[in-house]
Chains A and B, each alone.
Chain A
Amino acid sequence: MTAAPTNAAATLQLRAVAKRYGDKTAVAALDLTLYPGEFYALLGANGAGKTTTLRMIAGLLQPDAGSISLCGHDLATAPVLAKQKLAFLPDEPLLYGKLRCSEYLEFIAGLWQIDPTQAAKRGEELLRWLELWPQRDNYCDSLSRGMQQKLTLVGALIHAPQVLILDEPLTGLDAASSRKVKDLLAQLARDGLTVLFTTHILEVAERLATRIGLIRAGQLIAEGSLDELRARFGASDSTLEDVFLSATFDGAEALGAVGRTV
């Protein structure tokens, strides 16, 4: 595992991003920088502000303060250019039950306004890779939950995004599908795709992430490679789970580490 590369232009940059829901602070002055090819896991307990952060990056929630830029385009001033580079997958599949799989992909190609021939070619490749090709003319609601999750991933990748935001990407997948998706994401990251994901399955983050950020009460309390986090929060043979529990539940110590780590 490697730490953040600093010699490339950032694909995703959050500067002092904040969001409040009434009196509750969901995200507080969050800074985050991701580079091409990075596989970044944003981890935190329930209600820590992970989903709010992802939804702000996807343009679904307006930050109260701060700025977000995607591949150099500010999301607030050039949203169309910024979103062109982005794909977002929430934990619930983004499907239309009564569209056929191929129609669903055609709709996404229309939304991202990509060349129909290229979109069809890429869609076919992805469907075949994720073993959904025989289902291409079935209605989305006739697919199993795992298949729906895979189809949503095909929809996200059909427009060749540079930043992929995933909220619990492996929910509902069987072991074989889970492996396929992980392999595909790892391959895409090697090809330069930036992946930001959240998960509660820490083994997934441990295996895939090149950098891990720990978030609590809307604040990034630590980030770094697994080895770096181990060095700060546990022994050298600690699992990510040990590190996570130590960092997110030992309040004073963890907050003390913020200055040293971030």
Chain B
Amino acid sequence: MKLAPGGLPWLVFWDVRIRTRTYGFGGRPLLALLIYGGLIAAVHGGAWLLLRRFGLNRPIDLAAPALIAIYAELLLLLFAFMLMAAIASSFRLLHSGRALTLQLGSPLPFGRVLLAQVLSLVFSTWSIPLLFAIPVANVSALLGQPVLLLIYPVTIALAVCAQALTLLFASGLLRLFGVVRMRRLMPYIQAIVPLLIVTLNLFERGNPRSQTHNADFGQWFEILAAPMRLPARAIAGEPVALAALLVVAGLLLWLALRAASRGVRVALTTPDTVAAPAARRQSASAGLRFQRGLLRAMVLKEWRTTVREPRLAISLLATPLFVLPLFYSRLFTGQFSPSMAVVAALLATAQLCQRTANLTISAEEAPALLGSAPQARGRIIAYKCAAALLPVIGLMSIAAVWIGYYDPWRGMVCFVCGLGASFCLCAIEVARPYPAPRRSFVQVTAGRRKRNPLDILAILFVELGWAAGAWFLAERSLWGALIVFGVLVVPFLQWWRDANKQSLLGYY
């Protein structure tokens, strides 16, 4: 089918094509097929096991009220994740003026360009149920419940709703604060987004089926879950509910585009610059004073360039917050065991280290300067690793000492595993073939999105592997040591995979 140039489908096609091109494994279709095919098979296998575990691998009455209630709760959680993704992508849209220069300078109407962008964002928001809910529906359909395939239009409609709601929210903020202030506010809002899941978790305690049931929260959970009964009924096969959901999604999108059009246009055409900070006061006669030492110079340079970019600093500090929702309910219901504290500290450490290592090692603002400097590449990279590791080890040591105060063994496990995970994550960053340029927050974010999926898999494997290893070691099980040895292989595999390591920093 040939799409008419300049039309909405044509614009969406090109936008989605550009967004997804980076996940193509550099034009190696067989590798991409193997990895994506493997992933799809794995999530479907997991879905089948899940259905078997709960005895749902046989036809059941989908319209039963109890089942509708469960669907609604699950959809509420899914919608919360979609909202988180939609907030991030809507905020990114407000920064993408430079990337859209061509479209904005073309004779195409702005409304069409914006709609194409929003639809493309809906596509990326919809990728969340692709991993969680849709495999379950697919397997259920194969097991005799084809009506559950309605999850496709339902989740697409929910993705449209999430995107439209966040666009309305962003447009409200734009009207309230203006573009420049809004851009300053955005990282703070993104930093507190994980609290959405925490709040949901809190309200979930009002659910009578919850293990940590607390009646005080009952009505709140009912209120939150009520709107999700409509998509839940649509999944169960009610055509009226499905039609109503699609109408609601369409209306919300129309409303959002109408309300946000002007604000987004202003944001896209306002340069992405932060006002220059005031110069440090210094008397006119004071000369320059330099200090000695490359390690000091390198570490200070990395820290200064990170903490002085507010969006980077906040996103970095917010990283451990994303671990919080995982442990929230257990933390506040007295079920938080010391071993779980080790795992929580380790996950937070690994998340933080992954970000600091990515920033200091892989995102270099002036690689040609370092590459042409009379220093061995290995030395520069070692100092960059030091800059990444020092703050992480400092913070992790506090957690280890705190845990060690109650249980010295677990404290030691926390420290050693935290150290191991941090070193592994640094090694993976060092092994990356090409570090991304780093001129701004937007470039760093774009660089992270362009990562090779194998890098992402390696990082996930290391983070979760060390966490699992730490759990078993904290429980004094030798399985922990075995897992740790397995995880240690990952950075070596990364090194073996590509010979052009850190080539932007010169080749000596």
- A and B interact: yes
Q: Contacts A88-B368, A94-B368: A120 and B374 contacting too (C-beta < 8 A)?
A: no
Pairwise interchain contact B508-A59, C-beta atoms closer than 8 A: yes
- The answer to whether A3 has its CB under 8 Å from any CB of chain B is no
Q: Which residues of B contact A55 (CB under 8 A)?
A: 368
- The answer to whether A116 has its CB under 8 Å from any CB of chain B is yes
Q: Which of B293, B365, B372 has a CB less than 8 Å from the CB of A60?
A: B372
A156 to B279, CA, bound (A): 24
- The answer to whether A247 has its CB under 8 Å from any CB of chain B is no
Pairwise interchain contact A112-B374, C-beta atoms closer than 8 A: yes
- The answer to whether B244 has its CB under 8 Å from any CB of chain A is no
Pairwise interchain contact B290-A120, C-beta atoms closer than 8 A: yes
- The answer to whether A153 has its CB under 8 Å from any CB of chain B is no
Stretch at the interface among A5-13, A136-144, A201-209: A136-144
- The answer to whether B371 has its CB under 8 Å from any CB of chain A is yes
Interface residues of B in 420-442 (CB under 8 A from A): 439-440
Interface residues of B in 230-246 (CB under 8 A from A): none
A83 to B305, CA, bound (A): 25
Interface of B is mostly: loop
Stretch at the interface among A39-47, A96-104, A222-230, A249-257: A96-104
Closest A residue to B371 by beta carbon equals A60
Pairwise interchain contact B277-A58, C-beta atoms closer than 8 A: no
Pairwise interchain contact B506-A60, C-beta atoms closer than 8 A: yes
Q: Which of B280, B506, B508 has a CB less than 8 Å from the CB of A137?
A: B280
A82 to B508, CA, bound (A): 11
Pairwise interchain contact B508-A79, C-beta atoms closer than 8 A: yes
Pairwise interchain contact A59-B280, C-beta atoms closer than 8 A: no
Pairwise interchain contact A106-B375, C-beta atoms closer than 8 A: no
Interface residues of A in 99-138 (CB under 8 A from B): 99-100, 102-103, 105-113, 116-117, 119-121, 123-124, 127, 135-138
- The answer to whether B366 has its CB under 8 Å from any CB of chain A is yes
A103 to B305, CA, bound (A): 11
Q: Give the size range of B's interface with the partner.
A: 35 or more
Q: Contacts A103-B304, A120-B288: A113 and B294 contacting too (C-beta < 8 A)?
A: yes
Pairwise interchain contact A88-B372, C-beta atoms closer than 8 A: yes
Q: Which of A60, A106, A108, A113 has a CB less than 8 Å from the CB of B291?
A: A106
- The answer to whether A234 has its CB under 8 Å from any CB of chain B is no
Q: Which residues of A contact B291 (CB under 8 A)?
A: 106, 110, 116
Pairwise interchain contact B308-A98, C-beta atoms closer than 8 A: yes
- The answer to whether B296 has its CB under 8 Å from any CB of chain A is yes
Q: Which residues of B contact A79 (CB under 8 A)?
A: 374, 376, 508
Q: Which residues of A contact B372 (CB under 8 A)?
A: 58-60, 83, 86-88
- The answer to whether B29 has its CB under 8 Å from any CB of chain A is no
A139 to B288, CA, bound (A): 15
Closest B residue to A116 by beta carbon equals B290
Interface residues of B in 356-381 (CB under 8 A from A): 365-366, 368-376
Q: Which residues of A contact B18 (CB under 8 A)?
A: none
List residues of B whose CB falls within 8 A of some A CB.
276-277, 279-280, 282, 287-294, 296-298, 300-301, 304-305, 308-309, 365-366, 368-376, 439-440, 504, 506-508
- List 27 A–B pairs whose Cβ atoms lie within 8 Å, in order of A's numbering: A60-B504, A60-B506, A80-B376, A83-B508, A84-B374, A95-B365, A96-B301, A97-B309, A97-B439, A97-B440, A98-B309, A102-B288, A103-B301, A106-B290, A106-B297, A110-B290, A110-B294, A111-B369, A112-B374, A113-B374, A116-B289, A120-B288, A120-B289, A121-B287, A121-B288, A127-B288, A142-B276
- For the A-B complex with A83-B373, A110-B293 known, give 7 more contacts whose Cβ atoms are closer than 8 Å: A82-B374, A97-B305, A98-B308, A102-B288, A108-B369, A110-B294, A121-B288
